[in-house]
Chain A
Amino acid sequence: MIELPLLRVTGLAKTFGRLRACHGVNFELFPGEVLGIVGESGSGKTTLLRCLAAELEPDEGSVEFRNVEGELEDVHRMSEARRRFLQRTQWGIVHQNPRDGLRMRVSAGGNVGERLMAAGERHYGRIRAEAVAWLDCVELDPVRIDDLPLLFSGGMQQRLQIARILVSRPRLVFLDEPTGGLDVSVQARLLDMLRRLARDLDLAAVIVTHDLGVARLLTDRLMVMRRGEVVEEGLTDQVLDDPHDAYTQLLVASVIA
């Protein structure tokens, strides 16, 4: 049986005034696949991610998501109610700044349990048990379940953000510079955890990063962006080991091995 794409992007473009932030973006993403979008700051990768995650409305093109019934739905033309439902069950966004993706004045347990409660779970004990399990899964000590995220380090906040999303077992996750602003050793541990989770949970993911090391470790495929356009794409190892486009070559060469 031919597997159908989970996400299909066609002719996507977004303009701000006179600035064409991204245009002419086409790709398909399959279940369990991890796609990386790399480029320098200003390349349009974050704009693209936000359009994919339905945070921004594109000026041209479409983003289609395949629902559990197997049908493609246009993410920007669906009703607000439907979009919000998908956003808190089947999708997730890990923000670069964890404060954007957490309720800072709600305990870790409350943050993780929110999607369950929004979906109708009404047993406090079960919610708590599940929160404990997920905290453990992202390598946070469950003893901190009642602590406020304000008291967590940046790396811990990032893990909490991830747990908060994964609790609803989403099929598609967007990550915006997931290791940005973190210590090198903290980054390494986070990346290991993400790689394990993506594999264990068979997640499809789109990761935006300027760090080629992150891309190499986590992604199956790569899209290189420059000034709003996709200049090269292909399997990660191929793109990084044998770049064809001049800009990609420059990027790869500039990484200190």
Chain B
Amino acid sequence: MYVAVKGGERAIANAERLVAETRRGDPAVPELSLAQIEEQLSLAVDRVMTEGALYDRALAALAIKQARGDMIEAIFLLRAYRTTLPRFGEALPVDTAKMLLMRRISAAFKDLPGGQVLGPTFDYTHRLLDFDLAEEGMLRATAETAPISPASSVPRVADLLGREGLIEPAPAAGEGPVPDLTQAPLAFPAPRELRLQNLARGDEGFLLALGYSTQRGWGSTHPFAGEIRMGIVAVEYEPPELGFPIEIAEIAVTEADLVNQFKGSAESPPQFTRGYGLVFGHAERKAMSMALVDRALRARELGEAAGSPAQDEEFVLSHSDSLESSGFVQHLKLPHYVDFQAELHMVREMRADWERTRDQIAERTLATKAAE
């Protein structure tokens, strides 16, 4: 006799215990510490902070540990945590011109004031598995680094071009409060500030593919890497009681300024146009993808024909958030048996109709034949 299955609560509690066990793995193997993740998987921490929309290396490391290395899961943990935090104000816009530079390159010029500073990059390494890393404790030679130039002697490429009017000016700060993606849901058409906020926390893989598509003809913008900077910037906040800004934190960011196809119109002479990307930590691929997509989404504003996916604002911005995409894709695992039952019912009725019609036609054919 069929008996309704109960015990869902117990099953879930056990599943949680199993996750904890599986996460820990073999108890004979030393447990991961948050400090190890922060120091030695720092690029993972950077990504989780950017897409988790929260700058806190320790919390990001915890999320990565808890998520067993699943980055999207870790990002989810950090975002959910962010929801519980109160907001007490808005920082001043970060000034990347004052960045304490660890890396700075430009593909647009061979040499430029401040020089090309390579920094800690994978770019020139040979991608050969280094078996020395398989053992701990192998001492390395320390790197030779030049003294870091003061920010004042490293002007931004965009400013250099801007002095001659060769690049469109950076958009002026508007009047009133900056629109905030977390305070009101996105509506279309979306202003550029909201687009950039959406892209900053958007899934890196999705933006990478879209950026790539623009380079292959799906809405090409002919980009050059005007400048990529990575380093430390100050976060300043002006408490209303003080009336002047104070520095409350230092964060690492990567900024990508892409220089694109030049436009011109009746009112303004031909100029290069901008694509912009800014992320937490060291993440050039994401910053550059963001800049490529930013520029593609400006197609309408710049009077360009906009038919490719990367230029479609609703398509890009509605599907960039990994929490939304992952949640909805995986929600298919939830029970859907009631709606499935409804469909089964309908299909069975339609099949019965179909058979009835077929039988009727057969009868009629027989009757006609008999009459002849």
Question: How many Å lie between the Cα of A17 and that of B266 in the bound state?
Answer: 7
A18 touches B (CB below 8 Å): yes
- Which residues on A sit within 8 Å (CB–CB) of B265? 17
When each residue 254-275 of chain B gets 1 if its CB lies under 8 Å from chain A and 0 otherwise, what string results?
0000000000011000000000
Who on chain A is nearest to B303 by CB? A17
Tell me the smallest distance from the CB of B304 to a CB of chain A, in Å.
Answer: 13
Question: How many Å lie between the Cα of A18 and that of B266 in the bound state?
Answer: 7
Who on chain A is nearest to B265 by CB? A17
Tell me the smallest distance from the CB of B14 to a CB of chain A, in Å.
Answer: 49
- Which residues on A sit within 8 Å (CB–CB) of B266? 17-18
- DSSP majority for the A interface? loop
Interface size on A, residues (CB 8 A): 2
Tell me the smallest distance from the CB of A80 to a CB of chain B, in Å.
Answer: 16
- Which residues on B sit within 8 Å (CB–CB) of A17? 265-266
Interface residues on B, range: under 10
Question: How many Å lie between the Cα of A18 and that of B264 in the bound state?
Answer: 13
Q: Tell me the residues in window 251-298 of chain B with beta carbons closer than 8 Å to chain A beta carbons.
A: 265-266
- DSSP majority for the B interface? loop
Who on chain B is nearest to A17 by CB? B266
Question: How many Å lie between the Cα of A17 and that of B265 in the bound state?
Answer: 8
Question: How many Å lie between the Cα of A17 and that of B263 in the bound state?
Answer: 14
Question: How many Å lie between the Cα of A196 and that of B266 in the bound state?
Answer: 48
Question: How many Å lie between the Cα of A17 and that of B303 in the bound state?
Answer: 11
Tell me the smallest distance from the CB of A21 to a CB of chain B, in Å.
Answer: 15
- Which residues on B sit within 8 Å (CB–CB) of A18? 266
Q: Tell me the residues in window 94-134 of chain A with beta carbons closer than 8 Å to chain B beta carbons.
A: none
Tell me the smallest distance from the CB of B263 to a CB of chain A, in Å.
Answer: 12
Who on chain B is nearest to A15 by CB? B266
Tell me the smallest distance from the CB of B265 to a CB of chain A, in Å.
Answer: 7
When each residue 9-48 of chain A gets 1 if its CB lies under 8 Å from chain B and 0 otherwise, what string results?
0000000011000000000000000000000000000000
Tell me the smallest distance from the CB of A159 to a CB of chain B, in Å.
Answer: 30
Who on chain B is nearest to A18 by CB? B266
Question: How many Å lie between the Cα of A18 and that of B265 in the bound state?
Answer: 9
Question: How many Å lie between the Cα of A180 and that of B260 in the bound state?
Answer: 40
Q: Tell me the residues in window 8-38 of chain B with beta carbons closer than 8 Å to chain A beta carbons.
A: none
Question: How many Å lie between the Cα of A108 and that of B76 in the bound state?
Answer: 48
Question: How many Å lie between the Cα of A166 and that of B266 in the bound state?
Answer: 43
Question: How many Å lie between the Cα of A182 and that of B109 in the bound state?
Answer: 56
Q: Tell me the residues in window 87-128 of chain B with beta carbons closer than 8 Å to chain A beta carbons.
A: none
Question: How many Å lie between the Cα of A26 and that of B266 in the bound state?
Answer: 28
When each residue 206-218 of chain A gets 1 if its CB lies under 8 Å from chain B and 0 otherwise, what string results?
0000000000000
Question: How many Å lie between the Cα of A60 and that of B265 in the bound state?
Answer: 21
Question: How many Å lie between the Cα of A18 and that of B267 in the bound state?
Answer: 11
Question: How many Å lie between the Cα of A17 and that of B264 in the bound state?
Answer: 11
When each residue 163-184 of chain A gets 1 if its CB lies under 8 Å from chain B and 0 otherwise, what string results?
0000000000000000000000
Tell me the smallest distance from the CB of B84 to a CB of chain A, in Å.
Answer: 43
Question: How many Å lie between the Cα of A14 and that of B108 in the bound state?
Answer: 41
When each residue 41-61 of chain A gets 1 if its CB lies under 8 Å from chain B and 0 otherwise, what string results?
000000000000000000000
When each residue 133-151 of chain B gets 1 if its CB lies under 8 Å from chain A and 0 otherwise, what string results?
0000000000000000000
Tell me the smallest distance from the CB of A179 to a CB of chain B, in Å.
Answer: 28
Tell me the smallest distance from the CB of B285 to a CB of chain A, in Å.
Answer: 38
When each residue 292-331 of chain B gets 1 if its CB lies under 8 Å from chain A and 0 otherwise, what string results?
0000000000000000000000000000000000000000
Question: How many Å lie between the Cα of A194 and that of B265 in the bound state?
Answer: 43
Tell me the smallest distance from the CB of B305 to a CB of chain A, in Å.
Answer: 14
Tell me the smallest distance from the CB of B363 to a CB of chain A, in Å.
Answer: 23
Q: Tell me the residues in window 63-91 of chain A with beta carbons closer than 8 Å to chain B beta carbons.
A: none
Question: How many Å lie between the Cα of A17 and that of B267 in the bound state?
Answer: 10
Question: How many Å lie between the Cα of A157 and that of B191 in the bound state?
Answer: 40
When each residue 51-82 of chain B gets 1 if its CB lies under 8 Å from chain A and 0 otherwise, what string results?
00000000000000000000000000000000
Chain A to chain B contacts (Cβ below 8 Å), 3 pairs: A17-B265, A17-B266, A18-B266
Q: Which 3 A-B pairs have the closest CB atoms?
A: A17-B266, A18-B266, A17-B265
